[in-house]
Amino acid sequence: MAINIGVFSLAQTGPYLQALNEARAAAYIVWQVIDEPSNISSDSEASLEKNDLLGDIHFSNVHFSYPSRSDVSILNGLSFNVARGQTIALVGSSGSGKSTCAQLLQRCYDINSGSISIDGKQINEYNMKWLRQRIGVVSQEPVLFHATIRENILLGHDSATDEEIYEAAKIANAHDFIMTLPNKYETQVGERGTALSGGQKQRIAIARAILRDPKILILDEATSALDNQSEKMVQKALDRVAQGRTIVVIAHRLSTIRNADKIIVIEKGEVVEEGDHVSLMEAQGIYFNFVEQQSLRQAKEEQIMFEEEEMPEALLTNQVDTADSAENGPLELSSVSLPQSILPALHRKKNSREHGDLKEESDEKSDKDIKQNTTLAILRMNKPEWILVVIGCIVASLNGGLEPAYSIIQTKVATVFQECDKDLQKRRILLYVLLYLGIAVLSLVFNTLQGYMFAHSGEALTKRLRSKAFQAILRQDISYFHKAQHSTGALCARLATEASAVQGASGARFGLMLQLIVSMGIGLIVGFIYSWQLTLLVIAFFPLIIFGGISQIHLTTRFASKDKQMLEDTAQVAVETIQNIRTVVQLTKEAYFYDKYSQLLDTIYQSSIKEIHILGVLFAVTSSAFFFALAAFISLGATFVDEGTMRFENVFMVLNTVFFVARAIGRTLTLTQDYGKALEAAENIFILLNRKSKIDNGSNNGDEIVRTSGCGKSTTIQLIERFYDANIGRLLVDSKDVRSLNLQWYRSQIGIVSQEPVLFNMSIRENIAYGNNNRTEIPLDEIIEAAKNANIHDFIQQLPDGYATNCGARGTQLSGGQKQRIAIARALLRNPKILLLDEATSALDSESEKIVQEALDRAQENRTSITIAHRLSTIQNANMICVIHNGIIAESGTHEELLSLRNHYYRLVQQTLK
């Protein structure tokens, strides 16, 4: 009997061995990450320097290529010197290696050959954390973390006082706009700073760098997102803080570097010219050509101004406050090239994005309603596999009858040895052996079919849920993503874990639960046949067992709901840290984010310990109930046998069948925790699937029109794209409210190039082809033509893999200028009716800007074009220029008409020419 129970139990370990193997496979991957060696570690044991950093920098014959593209050389024997306290400028075309120098100076990568030294010491000999703490960086694409403005600035120096934070913000020209926010410095900036404009993010990043009080300050296009007045103010502030420290400036606007102590011109990873502004102009080389290109544009603007009467001195000094925001920002220049027949009407309240009060609109069902229908909803979602599910249920039911049959045969085997007739005993033993073999064959067939049917249907359900959940996420309006519970990390965690967790209520586990339920039913029927008294005695203990099981389901569901948010919080921290690892490294905040992540894990751990204790008690109660029932059963059964009212064989038969029923209940209870988590996961997914976005790009409703037009400012580009709807008023396109248009069709008519272009982790060809998703395959000739118009084709051709080159996550394998040109090519390929250009050329050098601007000028023909720009040269030929101030159109007209008014636009132009 003991051996029989042991062997039978061993046969049931299959699912648990599967879970163990899955855990081992996962652990192997985790240990690979843990054991991965790092050549550059901020935790290096290099000793701290006794003396502070002075700031002498020396690049000597540096050769470098990025590890992911080792066959593409970025720097080719680069050499230059920077003396302490000097301000040097790195100048060159996009992709020449300027930003790479900044990254190497922070030792984000190790060079292939040559040497980089600071204060005469190789940078690989420094303690990396100590060195990076003395280097401040403001990059071309500033990164803010999902925290308050105060916390983001404080990342520059975690022990700074509030007064020091305010002073850094004032120097960066950010304090005024921060103080206009309801929560001021405690305002949440959103994930990646989405609640702020590009200029606001850049100024907060500058404040963060200033607060660091670094010995070496790297400014990589640090003012590219600022309007002219803000740029001048911030530039003056940076000039002041430059005293006593080494400054490395990377800029395309040469006006910001004229006063640099040394200007280094880099082409194809080599220094081709070096000197100050005067000496390089006298040499009339590459730098001279760069300056001439920008000077021609400046001269053209000045010529227009000189045609006007001399502006009164009083007007010159009457400057407008600037904050570069929707509410209190600088006077941004929004040019509109419009067909003469239509001008959209756009009215709305001040944008409340920065105040964090964007209201989420939805018609979600209540959680209660969804919970009531979760199981049925799971089955409906599995409807395409209904044949597999039905066959699986039939096989599981048949499989469930094998265990009671086994218990009956086992009882007969136990009594056959009492048979006195040896021949009869042998015949019965042979019969039972054959029955055992029959059960073995049937078990093999049934378990194989059951496993295949439910595994197939379960994986199909997981795939379908992930696909539909991802589709539902893409369908949501932008305000949905402003909520913390809908952050990137939370949504990724939901896609990764919840869809697969639903299999706890379907798939293989559902089949096993059905099998066990059938076993319990048949076992109870057999028990009633042989002794209804003993069976009722055992059933009397079932309420305690069932209560424990139901309690486990309820508590597990509740715990899963509570743990879900904590797990999503940890996922958000992890995703945000990894996505912005370069900024984390630059700020030497690896320990800060590790501690933040560990604290969240500790919270989950403490919560889980309490849950385990509660669930452990319930499991103990249900498990012990079986043994109490067994004790009562044996006592009563022995009494019946002793009194002669029941045969021993019948008692033993009921004991075996009831034993299997109890064991089936126990196995079922082990699945209740997975079932509870599955219900919670399913509820969360169905809430997402059933959420109806107010702005639904997946809807087929709405009209389609041919001609479109629109106007606005930088903050209303999102309204034109209909990421949000206006609180009050309407946005009309060809006299039709955009809310009445088919959203997917409407957006397909719009092309956009934003200030911070985003590329996907795929090839250059695929990124450009994304511009036109109306066709499944875009001919390479069309992609090349778009790339040529964006002045990026020649660069792509130089890459070993050409258009098949992978851009990396968010385009990290390319420079800012290269990314922007690919984004422009993507927009041009779309051939849109409306073209939105939000600082489309801000990251380009002068030569590239000129070529691309010509391409954009050609692209704007015969289509509505809305340009947001700080550079006057890109908008002065627009049909209409709208000057936005405090959320309203302060004045509009052509360039000449606005100059003649001598008001907002006139002052803005004058500031540009200073």
Please work out, in degrees rounded to the nearest 5, the angle formed at the alpha carbon of residue 866 by the alpha carbons of 860 and 869: 105
Domain count across the chain: 3
725 with 665, same domain? no
Are 839 and 803 in contact by the 8 Å Cβ rule? The answer is no
| Averaged pLDDT for residues 207-223 | 85
Residue 492 placed within a domain: yes
Q: Say whether 605 sits in a helix, a strand or coil.
A: helix
Closest CA to 104 of 81, 129, 124, 86: 124
Residue 15 placed within a domain: no
How far is residue 857's CA from residue 304's CA, in Å, rounded to a whole number?
20
The alpha carbon dihedral of 5, 8, 9, 10 has a sign of: positive
User: CB atoms < 10 A from the CB of 281, how many?
Assistant: 16
| Averaged pLDDT for residues 427-456 | 88
Q: Say whether 591 sits in a helix, a strand or coil.
A: helix
Residue 188 placed within a domain: yes
Are 145 and 576 in contact by the 8 Å Cβ rule? The answer is yes
* Phi and psi at residue 69, to the nearest 5°: -135, 65
Which residue is associated with the tokens 């600035």?
Answer: 153
What are the tens digits of pLDDT across the range 327-351?
Answer: 333 333 334 333 333 233 333 333 3
Query: Which one of 655, 690, 725 terminates a domain?
Result: 690
408 with 522, same domain? yes
742 with 686, same domain? no
Q: How confident is the model at residue 230 (pLDDT cuts 50, 70, 90)?
A: low
681 with 728, same domain? no
Residue 69 placed within a domain: yes
554 with 407, same domain? yes
The reported pLDDT for the residue numbered 673 is: 62
What are the tens digits of pLDDT across the range 480-514?
Answer: 776 666 767 677 777 777 777 777 667 677 777 78
How far is residue 470's CA from residue 488's CA, in Å, rounded to a whole number?
12
How far is residue 385's CA from residue 462's CA, in Å, rounded to a whole number?
12
The reported pLDDT for the residue numbered 734 is: 80
Point out the least confidently predicted range of 189-193, 281-285, 531-535. Answer: 189-193
Residue 327 placed within a domain: no
| Averaged pLDDT for residues 402-425 | 80
What are the tens digits of pLDDT across the range 116-174?
Answer: 999 888 888 888 888 888 888 888 778 898 889 999 999 988 888 999 999 989 888 88
The reported pLDDT for the residue numbered 59 is: 92
Look up the domain containing 223 and give its range.
57-300
What are the tens digits of pLDDT across the range 656-701?
Answer: 787 677 666 666 666 666 666 777 777 777 777 777 666 555 444 4
Closest CA to 698 of 661, 662, 735, 747: 747
Q: Say whether 335 sits in a helix, a strand or coil.
A: strand
Could you list the beta-strand ranges (E) of 369-439. Answer: none
179 with 80, same domain? yes
Please tell me the pTM assigned to this model: 0.65
What are the tens digits of pLDDT across the range 847-885?
Answer: 667 776 777 777 677 778 888 776 666 677 788 888 877
600 with 538, same domain? yes
163 with 295, same domain? yes
Question: How much is the mean pLDDT over the chain?
Answer: 76
Residue 15 reports pLDDT greater than 70: no
680 with 724, same domain? no
How far is residue 196's CA from residue 326's CA, in Å, rounded to a whole number?
9
395 with 541, same domain? yes
763 with 663, same domain? no
| Averaged pLDDT for residues 754-768 | 85
| Averaged pLDDT for residues 70-81 | 87
The reported pLDDT for the residue numbered 442 is: 92
Point out the least confidently predicted range of 50-59, 141-150, 595-604, 712-721. Answer: 712-721
CATH of residue 775's domain is: 3.40.50.300
| Helix (H), strand (E), coil (C) string for 792-860 | CHHHHHHCCCHHHCECCHHHCCCCHHHHHHHHHHHHHHHCCCEEEEECCCCCCCHHHHHHHHHHHHHHC
Residue 359 placed within a domain: no
Point out the least confidently predicted range of 23-32, 364-373, 506-515, 693-702. Answer: 364-373
How far is residue 527's CA from residue 651's CA, in Å, rounded to a whole number?
9
839 with 873, same domain? yes
The reported pLDDT for the residue numbered 132 is: 87
Are 221 and 816 in contact by the 8 Å Cβ rule? The answer is yes
Residue 170 placed within a domain: yes
The reported pLDDT for the residue numbered 873 is: 64
Buried b (16+ CB within 10 A) or exposed e, 775-813: eeebeeebbbebbbbbbbbebbeebeeebebbbbebbeb
| Averaged pLDDT for residues 206-231 | 79
CA distances from 501 to 26, 305, 462, 600, 681 (A): 16, 67, 8, 22, 6
> Under the phi-then-psi rule, with left for phi > 0, alpha for psi from -120 to 50, and beta for the rest, what region is 334?
beta
Q: What is the DSSP string of 607-659?
A: HHHHHHHHHHHHHHHHHHHHHHHHHHHHHHHHHHHHHTSS-HHHHHHHHHHHH
The reported pLDDT for the residue numbered 150 is: 93
% of the chain at pLDDT higher than 70? 77
Residue 668 placed within a domain: yes
The reported pLDDT for the residue numbered 434 is: 92
CATH of residue 392's domain is: 1.20.1560.10
